Structure 1
Amino acid sequence: MDLEKLRLVAQALYDKKGSDILCVDVKSVSGISDFVIIATGNVDKHVKSLAREVEDQLRQLGEKLTYSEGFEDGRWIVLDFIGLIVHILLPDTREFYDLEALWRGGKIVDLKIEAK
């Protein structure tokens, strides 16, 4: 997944009011993906809306969603696009699972999100 597509995902999350958006280059610490993006939604419907927006944006760029989970309850949705895994969580779920600690050995990627 190239940097421009990562930026597009992060910007789409921001534009839809996602918060605490973090991108980590996990190539050196993971064999399952190159990048991980983590974001927070306010309520379950917001988490679902954010996930659908990411899926739509990447589909338009020719990226295929290979796996998704969490749409049933909307507390934590995972989207796997081969090379990029997107996690969108409710605030309490994100705090509890602390995914940032899991990817601590990775490199944070500054995606230069534009405030609008």
Structure 2
Amino acid sequence: MSCLKEKIAPNKFTYPFVLKACNRIGDLNLGKSVHGLRFRFGDEVNVQNTLVRTCCCGEEGGVEFPRKVLDEMCKLDSVSWSAMIGGYVQVRRSSDAISLFRELQIEGVCPDEIIMVSV
């Protein structure tokens, strides 16, 4: 039986795990579809961070969608920044990673160890 049929709604903890599963099976389109269902948790930074990480791990050069998600986030934390910087590095867009690092500094965010390793 489907959870939705039983009116058991997914929550802010469910979505990150589903997105991670989409990443593990390599289905970026499914991950984007799941993102479309997350309307109730649009401001949950954990859900959005997982989406950024998941989509950055997708197809080569596919960083436009996760960057759009990052740009639309109301609140960014160090995981948000490191996920996107790491995504740029992964697809060999080093200049974009450095630009985002500079943006992070302009925003007054103190980079953590993970961000520094990525840069």
Structure holding more helix per residue: 2
Q: Which has the higher contact order (CA 8 A, sep 6+)?
A: 1
Fold shared per TM-score above 0.5: no
* TM-score, normalisation: structure 2: 0.30
Superposition TM-score, scaled by structure 1 size = 0.30
Larger Rg: 2
Which structure's residues are more often strand, by fraction?
A: 1
